């Protein structure tokens, strides 16, 4: 089955924006530069299958980054810029869309804030409707934790709550979310271990109360239970994502779970691998399976294809994409022969589904 994939790039070292690929039998084929953009570091698709939204990771809007909306062509996959608005904070790094397609929600990393924006019916993105600046810092890592740094925000499966991970403040902020007006209201906070630097999270596909957060600075995976009724998070388990004998520098990055819910993967920048874990379907607890070299340097992002058969890894610093076949019984990965593709500074991979 031929699938469609969009891969975005940082644009300070040869990348030009968002690229359109096809994917079949474990092989990527570049079709076109879908749209030029400035540092489109994360993307999300509207459920109407007509619009692509990006965060533009810069500070060009009087110190803030941008949120952009693109109209997609069904004929050739190209993207036409509709408009861009300020993200209301420096260096936006994450964007998601609510279950109804009414608003997009953004995390501003350097700005240490989160904000919502209307997904307009004309395909544009509207001006900010809700904005919250995070507070706090732990300073365990002075270079990275001198202040709040919102690194992601994800909606709960019910769509009633949004959970933002803040790397600088070592916390998760639990927001009540109203999809009618995009309002975010702080409900509670969860404190990670000082120095964790929480980055991204993934909900288990078969249990709405289980979620897993990757700690960028300690390189741990933290299994949490979300008690939506009481608006709380509880830590259940913590596991190291790096091999015990690895002594180099590493920054954990992305985290994702197979559609079957059997295995979890996280990318390790420095060890340059994907850490592989089995998920116990009864308890949700993790067991380490192993590691797979990503075939390049600094695997910032990766994506599991909708069938759950393949993983595509974006190695930013070695400027390449590598495809791996997933063993459905063990979770182990095998690099697909001749699957490597040169791509300048890849930072986000999204299958068009």
Q: Express each pLDDT in 1-15 by its tens digit.
A: 899 999 999 999 999
Predicted pLDDT of residue 270: 98
Give per-residue burial for 31-61: e unless 16+ CB within 10 Å, then b: eebbbebbbbbbbbbbeeeebbbbbbbbbeb
Residue 149 has pLDDT above 90, yes or no: yes
If you average pLDDT over residues 72-98, what whole number do you get?
A: 98
58-79 tens-digit pLDDT? 999 989 999 999 999 999 999 9
Contact 174, 231 (CB under 8 A): yes
Q: Which of 30, 14, 2 is nearest to 340 (CA)?
A: 30
pLDDT-above-90 percentage for the chain = 98
pLDDT at 29: 98
* Mean pLDDT of all residues in 217-243: 98
What residues contact residue 283 under an 8 Å CB cut-off, 6+ apart? Answer: none
CA distance 252 to 145: 16
pLDDT at 112: 98
Closest CA to 35 of 9, 4, 3: 9
With tokens 């690194």, the residue in question is: 151
* Residue 101 CB neighbour total at 10 angstroms: 15
Query: Do the bridges between strand 79-86 and strand 64-72 make them parallel or antiparallel, or are there none, so unpaired?
Result: antiparallel
What are the pLDDT digits (tens) for 169-226? 999 999 999 999 999 999 999 999 999 999 999 999 999 999 999 999 999 999 999 9
How many secondary structure helices (H) and strands (E) does the chain include? 0, 29
Cα–Cα distance for residue pair 111/134, rounded to 1 Å: 9
Query: In whole angstroms, what is the distance from residue 117 CA to residue 44 CA?
Result: 13
Write the pLDDT tens digit of every residue in 107-117.
Answer: 999 999 999 99
Q: Are 162 and 153 in contact (CB under 8 A)?
A: yes
Pairing of strands 27-36, 232-240: unpaired
For 42-50, what is the mean pLDDT? 96
- The pLDDT value given to residue 1: 85
CA distances from 163 to 111, 247, 256 (A): 17, 32, 16
Predicted TM-score of the model (pTM): 0.98
Cα gap 340→320, rounded to integer Å: 7
Instruction: Share the mean pLDDT of the chain.
Output: 97
- What does the pLDDT look like over 269-317, one tens digit per residue? 999 999 999 999 999 999 999 999 999 999 999 999 999 999 999 999 9
Do 320 and 342 form a contact (C-beta atoms < 8 A)?
yes
State the pLDDT at residue 323.
Answer: 98
Range list of H helices, 290-336: none
Question: What local confidence, expressed as pLDDT, does residue 227 receive?
Answer: 98
pLDDT at residue 353 is higher than 90: no
């Amino acid at each position: 089955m031929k699938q469609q994939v969009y891969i975005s790039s940082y644009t300070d070292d040869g990348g030009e924006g968002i690229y359109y690929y096809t994917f079949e039998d474990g092989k990527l084929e570049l079709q076109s530069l879908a749209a030029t953009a400035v540092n489109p570091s994360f993307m999300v698709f509207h459920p109407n299958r007509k619009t692509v939204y990006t965060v533009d990771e810069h500070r060009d809007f009087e110190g803030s980054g941008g949120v952009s909306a693109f109209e997609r062509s069904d004929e050739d996959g190209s993207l036409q810029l509709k408009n861009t608005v300020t993200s209301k904070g420096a260096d936006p790094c994450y964007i998601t869309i609510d279950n109804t397609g009414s608003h997009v929600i953004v995390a501003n990393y350097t700005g240490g804030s989160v904000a919502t924006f209307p997904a307009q019916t004309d395909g544009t993105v509207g001006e900010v409707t809700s904005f919250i600046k995070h507070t706090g810092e732990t300073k365990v890592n002075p270079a990275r934790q001198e202040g709040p740094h919102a690194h992601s925000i994800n909606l709960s499966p019910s769509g009633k709550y949004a959970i933002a991970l803040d790397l600088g403040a070592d916390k998760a902020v639990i927001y009540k979310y109203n999809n009618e007006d995009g309002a975010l209201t702080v409900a509670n906070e969860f404190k990670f271990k000082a120095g964790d630097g929480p980055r991204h999270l993934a909900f288990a596909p078969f249990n709405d109360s289980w979620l897993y957060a990757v700690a960028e600075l300690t390189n741990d995976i933290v299994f949490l239970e979300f008690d939506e009724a009481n608006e709380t998070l509880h830590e259940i388990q913590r596991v190291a994502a790096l091999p015990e004998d690895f002594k180099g520098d590493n920054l954990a990055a992305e985290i994702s779970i197979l559609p079957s819910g059997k295995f979890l993967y996280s990318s390790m920048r420095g060890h340059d691998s994907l850490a592989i874990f089995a998920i116990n379907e009864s308890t949700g607890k993790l067991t380490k399976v192993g590691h797979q070299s990503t075939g390049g340097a600094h695997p910032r992002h990766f994506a599991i294809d909708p069938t759950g058969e393949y993983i595509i890894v974006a190695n930013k610093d070695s400027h390449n994409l590598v495809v791996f076949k997933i063993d459905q019984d063990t979770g182990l990965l095998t690099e697909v022969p001749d699957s490597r593709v040169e791509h300048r500074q890849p930072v986000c991979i999204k299958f068009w589904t």
